[in-house]
Amino acid sequence: MNPELRALVRGAGAILAEAGVPSPEHDARALAAYALGVPHLAYAPAALPTSLRQEFAELVDRRRRREPLQHIVGSAVFRHITLRVEAGVFVPRPETEVVAQHAIDAALAVAARGSDPLVVDLCCGAGGIAVSVDVEVPASRVVAVDASPEAVALTRRNGDAQTLAGSSALRTELGDVRDPALLADLDGTVDVVVSNPPYIPPDAVPNEPEVRDFDPDLALYGGGLDGLEVPRAVVLAARRLLRPGGVFVMEHAEVQAEAVRAIASDAGFTEVTSFEDLTSRPRGVRAVAP
């Protein structure tokens, strides 16, 4: 690496570390690559542009003030795809990749039996789960729904960007999971319902500024004293949409595991189990429609 660039990145990492950024060295390198217009600093030019110092300083200052890295660079890597990310839409995060894996595994099992799996992603956000299923299970038909017009538009763009890699264009719709008529045309026919809904209780404001100050409240707070109003609606929608033997997968907070299992069981689901995230915490539920 160019010595001047190495010094710039090292200095930026120190600034970000002092500001409490969780991954200062990684973010400094990512911002430098973005400023240079290269995918990785291994591709940095030998001669640095004269404008780099000023542009890089401005990017580092934005991150120092805890603006999400994904908002600054405009994208986020999720499993095997790169998603466009925009302010006003929930930023996809690595822990949700585990939720996507459970949905993908369930869809692949249907495809292995010779059928084209129908998968519904409720509360789709930027479309990470929906687009990943479409790409990784080419035989799948994927429907993505969100209550945010911005999220629906972004999911549609992310889906369109991956159409050549996946099976077909996503069906992306604006809708509220609390609406009993949502996707009524699919009642009893869906193979997999997956969701990363809002689930934070009203008194559990996130500590991370990147989440608290930049993710939209609609994508964070699940409603009700326990934050489970929207997840309860997701469970009921899944129960209505799934065919017998269909699989339901949903992310939740660590402290909600027991409550979510009970909600799924009360709704009539069988084989209700919790699964762990990347840090071995119970952060998701998997269940089967009877």
* pLDDT exceeds cutoff 50 at 220: yes
The residue segments making up the domain with residue 15 are: 3-65
**Alpha carbon separation from 27 to 67, 69, 123, 168 (Å, rounded):** 12, 7, 28, 34
Q: Compute the average pLDDT of residues 185-213.
A: 93
Instruction: Tell whether 51 and 115 lie within a shared domain.
Output: no
In a domain, 79, yes or no: no
Residue 112: per-residue pLDDT: 96
In a domain, 163, yes or no: yes
- CATH number for the domain including 230? 3.40.50.150
* pLDDT exceeds cutoff 90 at 162: no
In a domain, 80, yes or no: no
pLDDT band, residue 163 (cuts 50/70/90): low
Instruction: Tell whether 171 and 32 lie within a shared domain.
Output: no
* pLDDT exceeds cutoff 60 at 245: yes
Question: What residues have CB less than 8 Å from 165, skipping those under 6 apart?
Answer: 81, 135
Please tell me the chain's helix, strand, coil percentages from 3-state DSSP, rounded to the nearest 5: 45, 20, 40
Residue 72: per-residue pLDDT: 96
- The answer to whether residues 195 and 234 touch, using CB atoms and an 8 Å cutoff, is yes
**Alpha carbon separation from 68 to 127, 212, 247, 282 (Å, rounded):** 18, 11, 33, 25
**What is the spatial distance between Cα 270 and Cα 272, in angstroms, rounded to a whole number?**
5
Instruction: Tell whether 20 and 154 lie within a shared domain.
Output: no
Instruction: Tell whether 120 and 264 lie within a shared domain.
Output: yes
- The number of domains in the chain is 2
Instruction: Tell whether 104 and 157 lie within a shared domain.
Output: yes
Q: What percentage of residues in the chain have a pLDDT greater than 90?
A: 86
In a domain, 77, yes or no: no
Residue 166: per-residue pLDDT: 47
* pLDDT exceeds cutoff 60 at 165: no
pLDDT band, residue 206 (cuts 50/70/90): confident
Q: What percentage of residues in the chain have a pLDDT greater than 70?
A: 98
Instruction: Tell whether 91 and 193 lie within a shared domain.
Output: yes
In a domain, 75, yes or no: no
Instruction: Tell whether 174 and 236 lie within a shared domain.
Output: yes
Instruction: Tell whether 276 and 134 lie within a shared domain.
Output: yes
- Which backbone phi and psi does 276 adopt, to 5 degrees? -95, 155
**Alpha carbon separation from 223 to 9, 204, 228, 232, 233 (Å, rounded):** 42, 12, 6, 10, 11
In a domain, 70, yes or no: no
**What is the spatial distance between Cα 114 and Cα 163, in angstroms, rounded to a whole number?**
22
Instruction: Tell whether 247 and 182 lie within a shared domain.
Output: yes
Instruction: Tell whether 34 and 98 lie within a shared domain.
Output: no
Residue 164: per-residue pLDDT: 56
In a domain, 232, yes or no: yes
pTM of the model: 0.91
Least confident of 76-90, 200-214, 275-289: 200-214
* pLDDT exceeds cutoff 80 at 261: yes
Instruction: Tell whether 132 and 40 lie within a shared domain.
Output: no
* pLDDT exceeds cutoff 70 at 167: no
* pLDDT exceeds cutoff 90 at 207: no
Q: Compute the average pLDDT of residues 5-34.
A: 96
The label of the residue with tokens 């600093």 reads 41
- Compute the Cα dihedral for 256, 262, 268, 271 and give only its sign: positive
Question: What residues have CB less than 8 Å from 151, skipping those under 6 apart?
Answer: 89, 90, 124, 125, 126, 127, 219
Tokens standing for 149?
A: 């017009």
Q: Compute the average pLDDT of residues 267-285.
A: 95
**What is the spatial distance between Cα 254 and Cα 138, in angstroms, rounded to a whole number?**
32
Mean pLDDT of the chain: 94
Closest CA to 285 of 210, 221, 235: 235
In a domain, 175, yes or no: yes
* pLDDT exceeds cutoff 70 at 168: no
Strand order from edge to edge, sheet including 141-146: 171-174, 141-146, 118-122, 190-195, 242-251, 282-288, 270-276
Tell me: the pLDDT tens digits for 115-157? 999 999 999 999 999 999 999 999 999 999 999 999 999 999 9
Instruction: Tell whether 95 and 58 lie within a shared domain.
Output: no
